[in-house]
Chain A
Amino acid sequence: MNAVPRRDNYDVVVIGAGPAGLAAAATAAEAGLSTLLLDENAGPGGQVWRAIASTPVTERDRLGADYWAGAELVQAVRASSAEIIQRATVWSLDRNLEIGVSVGGASSFVKARRVILATGALERPFPIPGWTLPGVMTAGAAQTMLKSSGLVPDGPTVIAGQGPLLWLLVAQILRLGGRIDRILDTTERRNYLAALPHAFAFVTSPYFAKGLAMMREVRAKVPVVGGVSELAAAGDGQLATVSYTGSGRRETVPAGLLLLHQGVVPNVNLAMASGIEHRWDDLQLCWSPVLDRDCNTSVEGIAIAGDGAGIGGAGAAVVRGRIAATSAVEALAPAAAAKLAPMATFRAALAQAERGRTFLDTLFRPAPQFRIPTGDTIVCRCEEVTAKDILDAVAIGATGPNQLKAYRRTGMGPCQGRLCGLTVTELMAQARDKTPQEIGYYRLRAPVKPITLAELAAVPKTEADVQAVVRG
């Protein structure tokens, strides 16, 4: 595996080697396009298939069949002509399709004729009192440790939240001998009713049987408290207790670890920084890129596939990766496109893969009190800004997330809004009685991941620089 891109120019550059990126790279390379696949992790797989090529967890049933489905796609990409670079952090992409990428502490620029973003999802912020205490972490972070190192919790552990990933993680932890003392299910009771009209599609989707079996497996081993409507972590410099109200009772339990999860949302940072238009999704409660049916964005030449295009899960991600790449092949090498599977088969496959998604989105729509905090609860971790601070700024004239920066510096820290952005938008929308779409989001800017000054200073000089030196 090479450390820097071999060329300055590629037909297709795919960013992210999860399900969508792997499928896109395989399709583009198979059609004979020069293809570069850049991925930030040590190995391919993204989040859902993290460490698929290196996990120490070898007993296949522990991580489930869906996990191992990724191995085949990884093989296909590795066997293709696609150039794959791991541990490659893409920190810039612009409307000229120029990509700034850092590999092993050195940055370079490559140009693409087509870019396919497959940067996946992030966990939704879960801003409850005490969520910034050491000992509180996201379920996704716990899953990363589990998949890449086989590490599971062994002290008193509470997991709180909702959604398919929450149950999957508990099942995986238990199968590997880990400890979960209690599940605090924050799914709102009324969501069951709201989701009912979509139940048929879900029951007939591949999620249903798997989900049901997994929940049954978990419920047999761990007490589950349903209808949790209040949640707080507390401790003196370290998590000590978790308090909650659920099933009509208030209770405080000791905990050394609290895992939080209320679903995932598109990871929009690179896409937004490159100027791609996004819109607020009222069902998934997040920003999603505006796309045509071939996954093309508002910026000519850039497509988005996978959960970054709107949460759809791994199955849909693979199909959307193929659609985006097929569209690129149609544009760049029409002759080769004729040899690929017809677009219609992908569209049918996508409809099948997305079956049941509305049910899940409706059922697992996070409750307002867990999205829009109040009082002293921290919203922006980087600058330690509370919900009250933000409401105070609104009261004296801050109208949106970008204006808020002038008052509180929210979103200006190293996380670039990943941990506070959605909260700030929804909080300000509520305070100003506007829609999130009207309130907007932070204007994001490269580098979307920090690079060192030394690294930037070391990028290859331009011709103009060289000439200046020669003249001087």
Chain B
Amino acid sequence: MTIRVDAIIVGGGIHGCSTALHLCLAGMKPVLIEKDYAGRHASGVNAGGVRQLARHVAEIPLSIRSMGIWERIEELVDDTCSFESHGQVLVAENDAEFDACRARVAELNALGFTHEELIDAVELRRLVPAVAESCPGGVVSRRDGAADPARATTAIRRKAEVLGATVREGVAATNIRRQDQLWLVDVGADTYAAPVLVNAAGAWAGRIAAAFGEPVPVETVAPMLMITSRVPHFIDPVVILRGRKLSFKQFANGTVLIGGGHLATPDQDRNQTVLDWRSLAVSARTVFELFPVMRSATIVRAWAGIEAKTRDDLPVLGPSARHAGLYHQFGFSLHGFQLGPGAGAVMTELIVNGGTQTRIGDLSIDRFHLSHPKT
């Protein structure tokens, strides 16, 4: 049976769900197709950082747009998503790193961005009392925070469904094709047809883009995280390091999430990852040195989510350069969770209005295909 809808979204991560939700808010009836279930991969199992801090300049406008939505996320999806805003702090471990922080904040200020603020050792110690004495300072983004990624993705999906989106989980989108100005996608025995197709398939999105003549230099990665048993409350903000791969967050229940981008080996077609414990041990050593209070905590679980990483570590967001009605929203390269709400809103503006006030020009797919010299 062929079912006519307003838009077909492939991929039930936070991006696909957010676009579905915002399309519904704009009065459209989308279908969201997810081969597993919403939030099964990176969107449901990432560190949950809601971070504007330390982002590439090209995606700062999108991040700021998204932050505004996070701050009223409960209004939007009828669920707190466990969002809390205790700031995110970037720690410089030595003077050279601190100098780099100073230069970065100056650069942002010159561009008109004020969300990042240089802090000295005294303020760093006030925000993160447990941090090692030797750290000279860092950068804070005070509105930043964290949310529960599985809960948030699930809540956004649920609200999209309440507002009229059709969510098809557990069946892959196949045989994607264009016919008579419409995009057609098979889902089991059904075929969906719509003038709009959104490619938000995460680690699987590169294959769709390539199939339509827009290959993107994208690889499948699986950043690892681990979580500890409950320890007494000792830290509020999310902490990341300037020089080493580490991110660090204590939840309200006392458990501590340790991440930072060490990679597992993904097995995309099996939906599996093989953890690299020697790299996790490097994270453990960093925490051991920086936060003595953590030394006796136990590691309860480690995992990795499968996602897409582009060559330039920036997402692909915007219309296809080759096909009318095709939109790309993927390649978030280990930092897409916070961008989810904003990217869905922007994508909806692109689809409904043909443009957006949010500056995303540097994220378009043709940056890989036009005049950029090969390196």
Contacts and interface: CB of A to CB of B under 8 A. Distances in A.
Contact of B295 (A95, A98, A453): A453
A399 B161 CA distance: 15
A105 B150 CA distance: 33
19 contacts: A94-B275, A109-B278, A397-B158, A402-B37, A402-B40, A403-B154, A406-B44, A406-B153, A407-B154, A445-B301, A446-B302, A452-B298, A453-B287, A453-B298, A454-B284, A454-B295, A456-B280, A459-B278, A459-B281
Contact of A465 (B151, B274, B282, B288): B282
Contacts of A275: 270, 272
B234 interface: no
B303 interface: yes
B153 to A, nearest CB: 8
Contacts of A402: 37, 40
Interface string B128-169: 000000000000000000001011011001100100000001
A447 B302 contact: yes
A396 B155 CA distance: 10
Contacts of A92: 275, 277
A267 to B, nearest CB: 17
A305 to B, nearest CB: 24
Given A92-B277, A406-B150, 14 more contacts: A275-B272, A397-B157, A399-B169, A407-B151, A447-B301, A447-B302, A450-B298, A452-B297, A453-B228, A453-B297, A453-B299, A456-B281, A457-B285, A462-B278
Contacts of B303: 445
Interface string A430-462: 000000000000000111001111101101011
Contact of A450 (B44, B229, B287, B294): B229
Contact of A457 (B39, B44, B281): B281
A100 interface: yes
A96 B299 CA distance: 22
B196 to A, nearest CB: 25
Contacts of B229: 414, 450
Contact of B296 (A400, A452, A456): A452
A122 interface: no
Interface of B: 37, 39-40, 44, 148, 150-151, 153-154, 157-158, 161, 169, 228-229, 270, 272, 274-275, 277-282, 284-285, 287-288, 294-303
A416 interface: yes
B150 A405 contact: yes
A27 B10 CA distance: 52
A275 B264 CA distance: 14
Interface of A: 92, 94-96, 98, 100, 109, 275, 396-397, 399-400, 402-403, 405-407, 412-414, 416, 445-447, 450-454, 456-457, 459, 461-462, 465
Contacts of A399: 37, 169
Nearest first, the 4 A-B pairs at minimum CB distance are A406-B150, A450-B298, A456-B284, A457-B288
Contacts of A95: 272, 274
Nearest to B231: A453
Nearest to A109: B277
A106 to B, nearest CB: 12
A412 B40 CA distance: 16
A275 B61 CA distance: 41
Nearest to A96: B274
Given A450-B229, A453-B294, A414 B300 contact: yes
A414 B303 CA distance: 15
A69 B280 CA distance: 43
A94 B267 CA distance: 13
Nearest to A465: B282
B37 A452 contact: no
Given A396-B158, A406-B148, A452-B295, A412 B277 contact: no
A407 to B, nearest CB: 7
A406 B37 contact: no
Contacts of B148: 406
A445 to B, nearest CB: 5
A98 to B, nearest CB: 8
A399 B294 CA distance: 35
A399 B301 CA distance: 23
Q: Which secondary structure characterizes the binding site on chain A? A: loop
Contact of B154 (A100, A397, A412): A397
B136 to A, nearest CB: 19
A96 B30 CA distance: 42
Contacts of A452: 295-299
B303 to A, nearest CB: 5
B37 A451 contact: no
A85 to B, nearest CB: 19
A17 B344 CA distance: 54
B274 A453 contact: no
B298 A457 contact: no
Contacts of B270: 275
Contacts of A416: 300-301
A452 B228 CA distance: 9
Given A403-B154, A416-B301, A459 B277 contact: yes
Contacts of A454: 284, 288, 295-296
A453 B158 CA distance: 37
Contacts of B287: 453, 457
A450 B296 contact: no
A453 B297 CA distance: 6
A405 B40 CA distance: 11
A412 B288 contact: no
B151 A406 contact: yes
B239 to A, nearest CB: 15
Contacts of B158: 396-397
Nearest to B270: A275
A191 B135 CA distance: 68
A462 B279 CA distance: 8
Given A406-B44, A414-B229, A100 B277 contact: yes
Nearest to A400: B37
Nearest to A451: B299
A450 B37 contact: no
B288 A453 contact: yes
Which of the listed residues B44, B158, B275, B300 has the most CB atoms from chain A within 10 Å of its own CB? B300
A406 B288 contact: no
A403 B281 contact: no
Contacts of B44: 406
Contacts of B153: 406
A415 B40 CA distance: 22
A453 B169 CA distance: 37
A298 to B, nearest CB: 10
A446 B302 CA distance: 6
Nearest to A444: B301
A151 B40 CA distance: 47
Nearest to B167: A397
A457 B280 CA distance: 8
A259 to B, nearest CB: 29
Given A100-B277, A450-B229, A456 B299 contact: yes
Nearest to A397: B158
B30 to A, nearest CB: 18
B163 to A, nearest CB: 14
Contacts of B282: 462, 465
Nearest to B157: A397
A461 B288 CA distance: 14
